Amino acid sequence: MYLTIKATGTHASMISHLLAKNPNNLYDRTEKGARIRLVYTSFQPEETEVLLFVTPDPIDLVKGSPDHYDITQYINDRELVVSSLFCSYIRPALGTALNGKPKADYIDWVEHLFTLHMSLGPVASDLPDHVIESLFQPLGYEVQMERGEIDYSFDLKNRSTVRHIQISGQQTLQHMLRQLYILIPVLDNYKHYYISDDEIERLQRYGEGWLSTHPQHDLIIKRSLRFAPLIKEYEQKVAKNEDITNVSTELSTNQAEASEMKSELSEDQGKQYDPNQTEPPVIRLNELRYRAIVEQVSQLPQHKQIVDFGAGEGKLSVRLGEIEGVEQIWAVEPSMQSQLRAIDRFAKLEGRTDYVIPVMTTGSLFYRDERWVDQDVIILCEVIEHINEVRLPQVIHTLFTDYRPQTLIMTTPNREYNEVYQMGNDEIRHTDHRFEWTRAELEQYCTQWIQDRPYTFTLSGIGEKHEQYGQPTQMVVFHRIGGQHL
């Protein structure tokens, strides 16, 4: 991945002071598992060019990820293309220029208009050329794009979607870099991090003076924030013309939890709490899920032995330990990173005699484990949508035929409710979701699953109800007929 910055004309060499990088020295650093090198390919008073080159470690990209065990994580283009990852890599190298804080002797040059030429790539974008041009041209740039011709041995396509982009224009170095810092993730439409309300602050900070009047403002905001609650929050901040320093304070109620729950789904980024409002704060959807499941388990006649599949960081498992009559909870999770966080959470309960401490263990629904046979309750909270549909029948067979729980509880997103979040028809709430079902589709699958099996099921919803689209989360509870173990 590369970015070149070229200044031409009088005083072109002054960009070296704005970058705070000595032309005689090679900048060579390692940031977040990637090697970043910055070198001056040309340094003359009227022509100065800087090349920033990034080489990520592909293993480090997936190391520690919840899906590090999945080999498909190694088959991706993230190490090769300019994306949000690239922005996080280059930010330390370009921080002085981005923030406009060079040494005092050169502070006046921050507002100087240079003739700048920047090129970057490769960019893997699903946007057509004319849309990419419409992102840069209103900012006063000339845009050129190059894409390689491809030669497949079968008829697929004759042009690569990967492009190398060049923009040129009169601009301050700081503004051009800030604009790229926002637009690069828009081009790639990928975020390697959890999109929280911190993103609003980033947009306001780096979009100051240009973003609000950009003709493609709505497209930029949608691809930057993605989710309706965050987009609405951003619009409210812009409408009120609030200072950016107040953003973190106003959103602080959910911000602490958001940083802890980076793997949560988009709808969990619900309405934010305003201390000045008279109505009580809106409860996060994830909290509502936990409450609904705990209430359901509490009412079951048999709930001594519980298995929480896909337990993650153990938040639901901890809640289950408070239920009267529970004797053992298995928290089953394949991700070692999540397991470690869960173990820390469980350790805080040590010494409590009124509490059942969950047992953390490694496991998967893709193979049979004798420990889970004939348990009272098995729970899959927001799990099945992360399973490839082609493998789902195997999982269902394992659950109903091999494990045979007295009660099986599942929750999964309601795809219809995505309309309330103003999501497109082809959008899903989380990048790892393999599917999202409507209420009718889930009912149809449940009917198929219990065919010739001794189970009945009931369907319900969790979260704020919409008259047409129902509730954001669907919950299905399967009860074994007869209520006796085999």
CATH number of the domain that residue 322 is part of: 3.40.50.150
| Domain limit, last residue, from 193, 211, 227 | 193
Q: Are residues 312 and 274 in the same domain?
A: no
φ and ψ of 294, to 5 deg: -60, -45
Taking only the tens place, the pLDDT of each residue in 10-59 is 999 999 999 999 999 888 988 777 888 999 999 999 999 999 888 877 66
In a domain, 485, yes or no: no
In a domain, 208, yes or no: yes
pLDDT, position 284: 85
Q: Are residues 82 and 223 in the same domain?
A: no
Cα-Cα-Cα-Cα torsion 378, 382, 387, 389, nearest 10 degrees, comes to 100
Percent share of the chain, pLDDT over 70: 82
Domain enclosing residue 24, as ranges: 2-193
B/e letters for 78-106, b = 16+ CB within 10 Å, e = fewer, are bbebbbbbbbebbeebbebbbebebeeee
Tokens 């919840």 sit at which residue?
66
Packing angle between helix 129-136 and helix 217-225, nearest 10 degrees?
Answer: 100
Q: Are residues 253 and 270 in the same domain?
A: yes
Q: Are residues 29 and 98 in the same domain?
A: yes
| Domain limit, last residue, from 246, 263, 282 | 282
Q: Are residues 64 and 183 in the same domain?
A: yes
In a domain, 356, yes or no: yes
Model-wide pTM > 0.85: no
**CB neighbours (10 Å) of residue 444?**
12
Q: Are residues 387 and 375 in the same domain?
A: yes
Amino acid at 381: C
Taking only the tens place, the pLDDT of each residue in 348-374 is 888 887 789 999 998 889 888 999 999
pLDDT, position 158: 54
Lowest-pLDDT choice from 154-163, 245-254, 327-336, 394-403: 245-254
Q: Exposure of 39 by Cβ count < 10 A (0-12 exposed, 13-18 middle, 19+ buried)? A: middle
Q: Are residues 424 and 439 in the same domain?
A: yes
Q: Is the pLDDT reported for residue 156 higher than 90?
A: no
Q: Is the pLDDT reported for residue 288 higher than 60?
A: yes
In a domain, 486, yes or no: no
pLDDT, position 270: 37
Q: Are residues 150 and 241 in the same domain?
A: no
Average of pLDDT values for 304-314? 94
Q: Are residues 376 and 426 in the same domain?
A: yes
> Which residues have a Cβ under 8 Å from the Cβ of 484 and sit 6 or more positions away?
none
Q: Among candidates 162, 156, 102, which has minimal Cα distance to 129?
A: 162
- How many domains is the chain built from? 3
Q: Are residues 207 and 189 in the same domain?
A: no
| Domain limit, last residue, from 193, 216, 235 | 193
In a domain, 101, yes or no: yes
Taking only the tens place, the pLDDT of each residue in 194-252 is 677 788 888 888 898 899 899 999 899 988 887 778 888 888 877 765 443 343 333 33
Q: Are residues 249 and 132 in the same domain?
A: no
φ and ψ of 308, to 5 deg: -105, 95
Q: Are residues 183 and 214 in the same domain?
A: no
